């Protein structure tokens, strides 16, 4: 029988329950929404899954244990959990004062009401299979364009808010271009869309642009930038000397996969287990390079056994984070402190990848891969050789010599194609290594239990492997994309949402665990996941494949939610400053690669070639001076490679190209799901002084000078090219003053003008006076440095 409450508990308790924070009707308390965050943030580190840190042998994350030791359902006043939260008695207060954690009155009130209502637990929301929710009814039916809008509008109406007006057509097309291909539209494309959008069928005009951009070869480049961050793609090994390695064929495979709309199931399967598929193609083997993208070492003094353990742990971290949105990395050393995952399960996941052939210490072997492009070249040459050999066999003697000379040339071309066959890292399966639990992650400790491949028990079961005793990466990939898996589709569609709104429905896109954020619109997330993961039955958009990435994106960008203005009204700034309710669009800076692509596109310098080896744009001399041995020089590329898109830039993990680094590009040492978006003085300095942007400004200036005779007209052309709108009278006045001031300066300082015009490899125009071109370069530099120029709104 429980003891009566001491006075030290009873007094604060009475004050609390007799004066609740909110005067309101009885509310239904939900464990996942209301209680789990409180327990996770304040209690579970000491009373959770981790055996090593657990205090008082109490688990508050486990319903059975909590009810047996600390909670009496329906009776908060005699529940030890509640008593400890409200007591002032020394040594009894929870959380202990030394932890610097404390619950607010509102949180204690929630705990009280939850216990009063029966203290019912739920599995963590992300571990529950998505539910098919009925589409909400809304009052403002006219605003709804597709099911997405119903979920968003229902929540807004519940909160007493209205969605923002639709963005103007110029903003819409600029937004679509940056979101779908990462490039700006041309003035002609903008004008054509604005005209058609003003016609009788604006919806058709908008959809036509969406379909064209989804079909663009640049769509894959835009999505690849995000995915390459997730899988930590780079051109170098990472550890110690961070030496070079060829793996660009994988990057090109990703771009091509998005462009040909490879279904998500196959997208995952080919990367995790492409080498194990029956009659694996060259492209599927390239995709399996996904397993080889981790950091490796070539430092001779390293311990092979240590790095074998490092590689295993890296793969589990990346697999769990990239595909499942879980933070399993800490379970390498101990059971998860907040989520229901154990150290043993960490090593069971590692065992799936124990068959990968690799060098623990040393250069990883590169495999020649005859890609489709090279196969087509070789086949074409072989056909010509065969035809010519037949012709020689029957040709008159006087023609044989010339024909043989031609044959020799074709054979040399074929040999050159074979010699130039690119190499890459692929996955090759061998006899699996033995995997055992490493206690505390200690690679020197061989006393741990030997484990077989397996998945966490909190997730759906793996199922019996087909016709074999040991599960393989194919089994893991099938489990990952199975309809029963509650995480995979949710995680992926949430990341798509992040790309088009600036934040996910789950704000912590890399953490769907207990410490992650709750979804702001859980029913919408479930609907998106089910719609993405399920094939359409006959009569309901039949023929649509499960995991259709382009279809999922089209649904998002066709919604009224997506088309809203990003301007925040005073009411929205006060009520919803972080746009959790989606009553407006997001406004955010372009990612690093697209900041550069945008400048090159505006100037006309951009080379839009798809694929190929990584390139080296301008980089400050000496930047690699402190790169670990051997001494290396960057060597700026010349010709078209200097002006390729940012996705093709050489990715040196330890010394990332500095202009990309300034705009928050990831070093890709670990999985990066969402880049930070900083706003720093260095960014403005990069846009003003980096050779890429100075050269782009000069070429942009030449274009402006040739576009019109009068200064205001040239400025207006500049704004249409860079901002997709007309310049205001004030903007024209400011920039005209700037132009005239700088022209006067450069007329008096010819060397300064030549110094500006000499930056970059593109030759400066000889038919334009140097002072005028330099002054217009200043105007162009200013426009490329505008916040609006590098912002997607």
Task: Flag whether 69 is in a domain.
Answer: yes
Task: Flag whether 158 is in a domain.
Answer: no
Task: Flag whether 113 is in a domain.
Answer: yes
Same domain flag for 249 and 357: yes
Same domain flag for 602 and 740: yes
Q: What is the C-alpha to C-alpha distance for residues 606 and 207, in angstroms, rounded to an integer?
A: 27
Task: Flag whether 308 is in a domain.
Answer: yes
Q: What is the C-alpha to C-alpha distance for residues 525 and 502, in angstroms, rounded to an integer?
A: 16
Three-state secondary structure readout of 400-433: HHHHHHHHHHHHHHHHHHHHCCCEECCCCECCCC
- 249 closest CA partner among 230, 237, 262, 233: 233
Same domain flag for 718 and 594: yes
Task: Flag whether 579 is in a domain.
Answer: no
Task: Flag whether 536 is in a domain.
Answer: no
Instruction: Report the pLDDT value the prediction gives residue 4, as an integer from 0 to 100.
Output: 39
Phi, psi of 774 (to 5 degrees): -65, -40
State the number of CA atoms in the 13 A half-sphere of 446 facing the CB.
3
Same domain flag for 625 and 669: yes
- 451 closest CA partner among 543, 362, 343, 375: 343
Q: What is the C-alpha to C-alpha distance for residues 658 and 618, in angstroms, rounded to an integer?
A: 10
Instruction: Report the pLDDT value the prediction gives residue 21, as an integer from 0 to 100.
Output: 41
Q: What is the C-alpha to C-alpha distance for residues 655 and 339, in angstroms, rounded to an integer?
A: 35
Instruction: Report the pLDDT value the prediction gives residue 538, as an integer from 0 to 100.
Output: 45
Task: Flag whether 289 is in a domain.
Answer: yes
Neighbouring residues of 692: CB distance < 8 A, sequence distance ≥ 6: 596, 599, 600, 617, 618, 659, 760
Same domain flag for 617 and 701: yes
Q: Into how many domains does the chain fold?
A: 5
Instruction: Report the pLDDT value the prediction gives residue 535, as an integer from 0 to 100.
Output: 67
- Residue in the structure block whose two tokens are 């030791």: 69
**DSSP code of residue 792:** E
User: Which range marks the domain in which residue 635 is found?
Assistant: 590-793
Same domain flag for 86 and 20: yes
Same domain flag for 252 and 203: no
Same domain flag for 410 and 456: no
* Burial class of residue 126 in the structure, from the number of CB atoms within 10 Å of its CB (0-12 exposed, 13-18 middle, 19+ buried): buried
Residue 201 in contact with residue 208, Cβ under 8 Å? no
User: Helix and strand tally (H, E) in the chain?
Assistant: 30, 6
For 633-687, what is each residue's pLDDT tens digit? Answer: 999 999 999 999 999 999 999 999 999 999 999 999 999 999 999 999 999 999 9
Phi, psi of 649 (to 5 degrees): -65, 140
Residue 280 in contact with residue 274, Cβ under 8 Å? yes
Contacts of residues 531-538 at CB distance under 8 Å and 24 or more positions apart, as own/partner, are 531/147, 531/555, 532/264, 532/489, 532/492, 532/493, 533/264, 533/483, 533/488, 533/489, 534/483
Q: What is the mean pLDDT of each run of 10 residues along the chain (793 residues)?
A: 42 48 65 92 90 89 94 95 93 92 94 96 94 96 98 98 98 99 98 96 97 99 99 97 96 98 98 98 97 96 96 98 97 92 98 98 92 83 91 90 90 83 96 97 96 97 80 97 96 98 98 95 98 68 74 98 97 96 98 99 98 97 88 94 99 97 98 97 97 99 98 98 98 99 98 98 96 98 98 97
Instruction: Report the pLDDT value the prediction gives residue 537, as an integer from 0 to 100.
Output: 53
Same domain flag for 747 and 613: yes
Residue 687 in contact with residue 789, Cβ under 8 Å? no
Instruction: Report the pLDDT value the prediction gives residue 536, as an integer from 0 to 100.
Output: 55
Task: Give the sign of the dihedral formed by CA 521, CA 522, CA 524, CA 528.
Answer: positive
Residue 359 in contact with residue 471, Cβ under 8 Å? no
Q: Answer with the one of 485, 517, 532 that is the final residue of a domain.
A: 485
Same domain flag for 350 and 466: yes
Task: Flag whether 298 is in a domain.
Answer: yes
Residue 566 in contact with residue 574, Cβ under 8 Å? no
* CB neighbourhood size of 392 (10 A): 16
Instruction: Report the pLDDT value the prediction gives residue 53, as an integer from 0 to 100.
Output: 82
Same domain flag for 192 and 87: no
Q: What is the CA radius of gyration of the chain?
A: 31
Q: What is the C-alpha to C-alpha distance for residues 328 and 318, in angstroms, rounded to an integer?
A: 9
Same domain flag for 198 and 82: no
Task: Name the token pair of 183.
Answer: 């490039």
Instruction: Report the pLDDT value the prediction gives residue 543, as an integer from 0 to 100.
Output: 52
Q: 382 vs 374, 389, 407, 415, 675, CA distance in Å?
A: 12, 10, 11, 11, 48
pTM: 0.91
Instruction: Report the pLDDT value the prediction gives residue 124, as an integer from 0 to 100.
Output: 93
Q: Answer with the one of 485, 503, 529 that is the final residue of a domain.
A: 485
Instruction: Report the pLDDT value the prediction gives residue 417, as an integer from 0 to 100.
Output: 80
- 784 closest CA partner among 668, 707, 695: 695
> 3-class SS at 101?
coil
**DSSP code of residue 353:** T
């Amino acid at each position: 029988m429980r003891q009566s409450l001491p006075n030290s508990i009873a007094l604060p308790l009475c004050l609390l329950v007799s004066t609740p924070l909110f005067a309101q009707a009885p509310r239904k308390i939900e464990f996942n929404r209301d209680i789990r965050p409180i327990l996770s943030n304040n209690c579970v580190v000491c009373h959770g899954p981790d055996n090593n840190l657990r205090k008082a042998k109490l688990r508050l994350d486990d319903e059975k244990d909590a009810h047996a030791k600390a909670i009496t359902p329906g009776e908060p006043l005699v529940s030890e959990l509640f008593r400890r939260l409200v007591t002032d008695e020394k040594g009894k207060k929870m959380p202990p004062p030394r932890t610097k954690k404390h619950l607010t009155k509102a949180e204690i009130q929630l705990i009280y009401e939850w216990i009063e209502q029966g203290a019912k637990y739920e599995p963590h929301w992300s571990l529950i299979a998505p539910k098919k929710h009925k589409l909400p009814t809304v009052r403002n039916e006219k605003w709804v364009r597709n099911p997405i809008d119903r979920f968003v509008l229902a929540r807004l109406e519940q909160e007493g808010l209205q969605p923002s007006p639709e963005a103007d057509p110029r903003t819409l097309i600029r937004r679509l271009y940056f979101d779908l291909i990462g490039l700006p539209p041309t003035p002609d494309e903008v004008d054509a869309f604005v005209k058609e959008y003003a016609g009788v069928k604006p919806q058709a005009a908008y959809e036509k642009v969406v379909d064209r951009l989804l079909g663009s070869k640049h769509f894959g480049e835009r999505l690849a930038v995000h995915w390459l961050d997730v899988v930590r793609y780079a051109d170098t090994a990472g550890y110690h000397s961070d030496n070079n390695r060829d793996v660009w064929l994988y990057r090109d495979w990703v771009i091509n996969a998005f462009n040909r709309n490879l279904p998500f199931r196959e997208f995952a399967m080919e990367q995790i287990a492409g080498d194990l598929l029956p009659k694996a193609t060259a492209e599927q083997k390239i995709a399996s390079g996904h397993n080889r993208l981790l950091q490796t070492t070539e430092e001779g003094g390293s311990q092979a056994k240590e790095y074998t353990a490092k590689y295993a742990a890296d793969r589990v971290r990346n697999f769990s984070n990239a595909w499942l949105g879980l933070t399993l990395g800490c379970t390498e050393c101990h059971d998860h402190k907040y989520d229901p995952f154990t150290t043993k399960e960490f090593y069971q996941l590692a065992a799936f990848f124990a068959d990968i052939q690799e060098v623990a210490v040393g250069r990883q072997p590169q495999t020649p891969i005859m890609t489709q492009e090279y196969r087509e070249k070789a086949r074409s040459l072989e056909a010509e050789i065969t035809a010519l050999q037949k012709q020689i066999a029957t040709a008159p003697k006087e023609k044989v010599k010339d024909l043989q000379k031609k044959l020799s040339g074709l054979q040399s071309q074929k040999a050159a194609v074979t010699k130039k066959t690119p190499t890459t890292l692929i996955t090759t399966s061998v006899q699996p290594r033995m995997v055992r639990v490493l206690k505390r992650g200690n690679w020197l400790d061989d006393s741990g239990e030997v484990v077989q491949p397996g998945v966490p028990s909190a997730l759906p079961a793996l199922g019996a492997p087909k016709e074999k005793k040991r599960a393989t990466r194919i089994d893991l990939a099938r489990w990952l994309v199975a309809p029963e898996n509650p995480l995979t589709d949710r995680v992926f569609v949430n990341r798509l949402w992040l790309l088009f709104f600036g934040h996910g429905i789950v704000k912590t896109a890399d953490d769907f665990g207990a410490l992650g954020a709750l979804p702001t619109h859980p029913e919408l997330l479930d609907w998106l996941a089910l719609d993405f993961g399920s094939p359409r039955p006959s009569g309901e958009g039949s023929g649509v494949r499960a995991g259709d990435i382009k279809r999922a994106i089209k649904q998002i960008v066709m919604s009224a939610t997506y088309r809203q203005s990003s301007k925040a009204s005073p009411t929205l700034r006060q009520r919803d400053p972080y746009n959790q309710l989606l009553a407006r669009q997001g406004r955010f800076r372009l990612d690093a690669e697209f900041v550069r692509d945008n400048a090159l596109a505006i100037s006309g310098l951009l080379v839009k070639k798809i694929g190929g080896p990584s390139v080296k744009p301008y980089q400050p001399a000496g930047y690699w001076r402190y790169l670990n041995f051997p001494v290396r020089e960057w060597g700026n590329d010349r010709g078209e490679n200097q002006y390729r898109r940012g996705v093709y830039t050489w990715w040196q993990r330890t010394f990332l190209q500095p202009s990309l680094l300034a705009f928050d590009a990831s070093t890709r040492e670990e999985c990066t799901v969402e880049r930070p978006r900083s706003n720093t003085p260095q960014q403005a300095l990069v846009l003003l002084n980096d050779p890429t942007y100075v050269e782009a400004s000069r070429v942009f200036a030449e274009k402006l000078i040739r576009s019109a005779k009068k200064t205001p007209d040239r400025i207006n052309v500049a704004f249409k090219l860079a901002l997709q709108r007309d310049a205001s009278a004030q903007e024209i006045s400011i920039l005209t003053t700037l132009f005239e001031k700088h022209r006067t300066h450069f007329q008096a300082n010819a060397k300064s003008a030549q110094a500006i015009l000499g930056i970059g490899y593109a030759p400066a125009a000889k038919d334009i006076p140097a002072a005028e071109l330099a002054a217009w370069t200043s105007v162009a530099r200013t426009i490329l440095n505008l916040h609006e120029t590098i912002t997607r709104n």
